[in-house]
Amino acid sequence: MDLNDKLEQRLRAAAGELAAPEFDTGAFAERATREGAADVAYAVVDSPLGDLLVAQTPRGLARIAYLDFTTTDRVLNDMAARLSPRMLEAPGRLDEARRELDDYFAGRRRDFELAIDWTLVGPFGRRVLGHTARIPYGSTSSYGEIARAIGSPRAARATGNALGANPIPIVVPCHRVLRSGGALGGYTGGLHRKELLLAIERGERQLEPERR
User: Known catalytic residues?
Assistant: 174
Distance in angstroms (rounded) separating the CA atoms of residues 44 and 64: 10
Q: Give the SS3 label for residue 178.
A: strand
Distance in angstroms (rounded) separating the CA atoms of residues 47 and 42: 15
DSSP letters, 14-45, are HHHHTPPPPP-HHHHHHHHHHTTS-SEEEEEE
Nearest to 47 by CA among 108, 114, 113, 105: 105
